[in-house]
Structure 1
Amino acid sequence: MLTSAGHSLSVYFKSDSSLSRSGFNATYMIAKCGGNMSATFTPQYFTSPNYPSLYTNNADCVWTIKPSIPAFLVELIVMELRTESCCDYVEVHDSSRMLGRLKGNARNRVFMSQSGELKIRFHSDQSVAFAGFRAPSLVYTCGTNHTATTTPTPLTSPHYPDNYPNNLECEWNLVARGSFQVELNVVELLLSAANYVDIFDGVMKLARLKGNITARSYISTSGGLRVVFHSDGSVTMRGFNATFVQGEIIIIKLKPTSCQTNLVATTETQYFSSTNYPDNYPNNEDCSWTITTDPSQQIELNIIEMEIEQCCDHLEVFDGDSLVAELAGSATNQQFTSSSGVLLIRFTDGTEVRGFNATIYEVTPQPI
């Protein structure tokens, strides 16, 4: 089968003065564009009619691309596009939602489905024609379920360390076997202003991460963590790189003589706790921990678990000289960030209960 490179096709037949035969029989029709495709892990390329030569006028082509594996999604990469800037275009649709319209000149634009399939429409009018477009499609997963093991497992945003695509809503569920817990270590995170990563311990949100962050750790209080990544239709960046591992919380039990002490926050996560944790603390304690770091940095405090008497025991958090929280009763994963390089934690009690454990680490202030 032959397809013209332009708007016409000429067929020439020549015979000489020698023998003759029955000749040929042929059909012709308008070349079809569009169709149904199945995305796999191997890129499946498709193009506008005649690419890289000029596309035909008055084309209206629609491709429907479905994943070859149920529950997977479709990724489309428009590697190169050149059309008439006023009137010819490529539209990318996810179900009933348009993800983008490209016209003029574009390169390496990435689109990802949210419903399982993509529809691509190419339209040209009756005037000027250009080279058109070339694009591969393939399947991908944006979020899934993982079981943590004792070996750290990588977890990254799509395309990391290259920029993540627009319009993502990815969710990873990280679970541990038996009575173990999950520890998530965010190695690097670089997101544009409107994009974020949410981290949940059950139904409780532990953190919303935005901007530029390094070296953060989060530990489940039960059997798992949930990580949700959102990107909008604006600027994209590198995304995030993290690992997760199965383990038990390492508790540094502070001796009674350490009830009044100074701690220095670094970029490594450090644990501290009430006396005897996870066993009951003694009666009538009045403990304080002064946590410092470089004056140009900040301190992030995460109260992983707290169980103290509601009526009479108190855990106070001071940012410098200012009281920012007074906690009592039960709580998990309460986070506080200093405005400078000093935090003070004070714990007073009257009766014996379980107490608390917490982590501290140094963070770099984010520009406002």
Structure 2
Amino acid sequence: MAPDRRTVLKAGGIAALGALGGKYVPDVPVNVARAQSDVSTEYPEIRFAVHQDPGQAVNWVLPAKRRIDEFVFGTPDEPINTGQHWVNVADGPVADLLGEQTYQVGLPLDKRRTTEDGSAYTVTTFNTFASPSRREVSGELDLTYVDRRPWDEPGAGTDTPDTVELTAEFTDPADNQYRLEVGQVFQPPIPPWQTGGGVVTNSWLHGVTGTGSPLLPTEFAYGAFWGVGNVVVNGEVRNERQVIHFMTTQMIRKSDYTLAIDPELPLSPDEAYLGNLHQTHAVVAPIRVTPDGPVPSPVETAFELPNGNTQPFIHVMWDEETIDGYTVVEPEEGAETATPGTGTTAPGDGTATATETASTDAATGTETPTETETDG
């Protein structure tokens, strides 16, 4: 009997609700604990915490090319998810932002490399934040998600009852010190993102979902938030009102830290990095929030890339965190893998293999960017 490659998030001792219904058939079935809240009687809040101590695995993601998944982006004969539709329907500063950072909603055709015979896509033409390349760094994390409203509303993006509590400190590969300060949860006004009031729990993100860059695979998120905040580097505020995104998801990194594509998920403990079934991501995008809307704004990191420029985004992974108050149950035997939004079993292979990637650092076994163009 084939192994069931799912993970389960459960809350013991409290009445539970199914997280996904209707057409959604999750890889990660979830029971959700809801506690009564003083904020809303219509939608009692979901609250849970994530923690990682210093000395456990933290990885800084470097810019590098990303394998292109046929499931998410199609083929040269039938391309999908180019992002152009969302550039066209956006207006004002959002349209300008997506014109420059289309990878937030799709992958333009001119950013895709193909096999020699032109039958399949291979890798992106540029070095991206959704990268297989990393360096081990240090850090600690305390994060509490508080989800009080499961939908976005029109109007001011910061008008939401959702909140987070965050302590996030880490280093870069050159041992510069970073701290992220989130001043406000908000709903990014990017079509077609659905951010659940700025904090979502027990949901799907990225890949084919329409929420978050499709350069990351379709992944189950126990919790996620989008916020506006500061990036502090070596004790100095380098960026103010920058877009900061955290998510606690199923593990999407293989044992060698390769970034999985949709048909490879979910990973079994034998396939997953350190055998872990979940991880927490922090992405500080090259986007700043202004009174007029979001605008492109590189993150002023202190980490210098081989091209002499500093890395214009932050993507950090806490790979040994714990989800307090919940139990993530290891896969059982029996069921097949299902894909969100389709109700069908995902294929096990059939995607193009990357023919161009970043070079490998023989001393560390990790990858170094080989081209200078990066997203952002």
Higher strand share: 1
Higher helix share: 2
TM bucket (normalised to shorter chain) is: under 0.3
TM-score w.r.t. the length of structure 1 is: 0.23
Answer 1 or 2: higher relative contact order, Cα 8 Å, separation at least 6.
2
Q: Which has the larger radius of gyration?
A: 1
TM-score w.r.t. the length of structure 2 is: 0.23
